[in-house]
Structure 1
Amino acid sequence: MLKLAVTGAGGFLGWHVRVLLRALGWPEPTVLTRADLADSGLVAAKVAGVDQVLHLAGVNRGEPADVAAGNVQLAAQLAAGLKHCANPPRRVVYANSVQAGNGTPYGDAKATAARVLADSGVDLDDVLLPNLYGEHGRPYYNSAVATFCRLLAEGGRPEVHADRELSLVHVTDAAARLIGMPAGGSWDPAMPALRIGVQALADRLAGMAATYRTGEIPPLSERHDVRLFNTYRSHCFPAHYPLPLPRRADARGELVETVKAHGGAGQTFCSSTVPGITRGEHFHLAKVERFVVLRGSAEISLRRVGDAEVVRFPVRGDEPVLVDMPTMWVHKLVNTGPDELVTMFWTNELFDPDRPDTWPEPVEAARPAPVAVGA
Structure 2
Amino acid sequence: MLRLALTGGRGFLGWHVRVLARALGWPEPVLVDRDDLRDDVATAAKLAGVDRVLHLAGVNRGDPREVAAGNVELAAALVRGLRRCDTPPPTVVFANSVQAGNGTPYGDSKALAAVTLAAARPDLVDVELPNLYGEHGQPYYNSVVATFCRLLAEQRAPQVDQDRELNLVHVSDAAARLMGAPTQGPWDADMPGLRVGVRELADRLAGFAAVYRGGEIPPLTDRHAVRLFNTYRSHCFPAHYPLPTVRRADARGELVETVKVHGGGGQTFCSTSRPGVVRGEHFHLAKVERFCVLRGTAEIRLRRVGTDEVVRFPVEGTEPVVVDMPTMWVHNIVNTGSTELLTLFWTNELFDAARPDTWAEAVELTPAEPAVAAA
Which letter maps to 1:298?
A
With structure 1 as the length reference, what TM-score do the two structures score? 0.98
- Other-structure match for 2:370: 368
- Other-structure match for 1:194: 194
- Other-structure match for 2:207: 207
Aligned-residue offset at 1:323: 0.1
Aligned-residue offset at 1:63: 1.0
Task: Identify the range of structure 1 (314-323 vs 173-182) with the bigger mean alpha-carbon deviation.
Answer: 173-182
Could you report, residue by residue, the CA deviation over 1:169-221 in whole angstroms, capped at 9, with x for unpaired residues? 00000001011013221000000000000000000000000000010000001
Q: After the TM superposition, which residues 92-107 of structure 1 pair with which residues of structure 2 at under 5 Å, given as runs?
A: 92-107=92-107
Aligned-residue offset at 1:244: 1.1
Aligned-residue offset at 1:122: 6.2
Could you report, residue by residue, the CA deviation over 1:275-301 in whole angstroms, capped at 9, with x for unpaired residues? 000000000000000000000000000
Cα distance in 2 between the residues matched to 1:86 and 1:133: 37
* Number of residue pairs matched by the alignment: 373
Aligned-residue offset at 1:369: 3.8
Which letter maps to 2:34?
R
CA contact (8 A) 2:92 2:121 kept: no
Cα distance in 2 between the residues matched to 1:251 and 1:323: 29
- Other-structure match for 1:283: 283
Q: After the TM superposition, which residues 37-186 of structure 1 pair with which residues of structure 2 at under 5 Å, given as runs?
A: 37-121=37-121, 123-186=123-186
Task: Identify the range of structure 1 (360-369 vs 48-57) with the bigger mean alpha-carbon deviation.
Answer: 360-369
- Other-structure match for 1:351: 351
Which letter maps to 1:358?
T
Which letter maps to 1:290?
R
CA contact (8 A) 2:36 2:42 kept: yes
Aligned-residue offset at 1:319: 0.1
Which letter maps to 1:162?
Q
Could you report, residue by residue, the CA deviation over 1:119-163 in whole angstroms, capped at 9, with x for unpaired residues? 124631000000000000000000000000000000100010000
Cα distance in 2 between the residues matched to 1:27 and 1:341: 37
Could you report, residue by residue, the CA deviation over 1:326-357 in whole angstroms, capped at 9, with x for unpaired residues? 00000000000010000000000000000000
Aligned-residue offset at 1:372: 6.1
CA contact (8 A) 2:308 2:365 kept: no
Which letter maps to 2:174?
A
After TM superposition, which residue ranges in structure 1, 4 or more long, deviate above 6 angstroms? none
Cα distance in 2 between the residues matched to 1:158 and 1:243: 24
Which letter maps to 1:241?
Y
The share of aligned pairs that are identical, in percent, is 73
Distance 1:102-1:68 versus aligned 2 partners, 3 A rule: same
Q: After the TM superposition, which residues 220-231 of structure 1 pair with which residues of structure 2 at under 5 Å, given as runs?
A: 220-231=220-231
CA contact (8 A) 1:9 1:371 kept: no
What SS is found at the alignment partner of 1:256? strand
Cα distance in 1 between the residues matched to 2:157 and 2:121: 50
Provide the aligned C-alpha RMSD in A.
0.9
With structure 2 as the length reference, what TM-score do the two structures score? 0.98
What SS is found at the alignment partner of 2:169? strand
Aligned-residue offset at 1:50: 1.0
- Other-structure match for 2:20: 20
Structure 2 portions without partners, runs of 5+: none
CA contact (8 A) 2:307 2:374 kept: no
CA contact (8 A) 2:306 2:374 kept: no
Could you report, residue by residue, the CA deviation over 1:239-288 in whole angstroms, capped at 9, with x for unpaired residues? 00001101000000000000000023300000000100000000000000
- Other-structure match for 2:266: 266
Task: Identify the range of structure 1 (351-360 vs 181-190) with the bigger mean alpha-carbon deviation.
Answer: 181-190
Q: After the TM superposition, which residues 278-317 of structure 1 pair with which residues of structure 2 at under 5 Å, given as runs?
A: 278-317=278-317
Cα distance in 1 between the residues matched to 2:3 and 2:362: 23
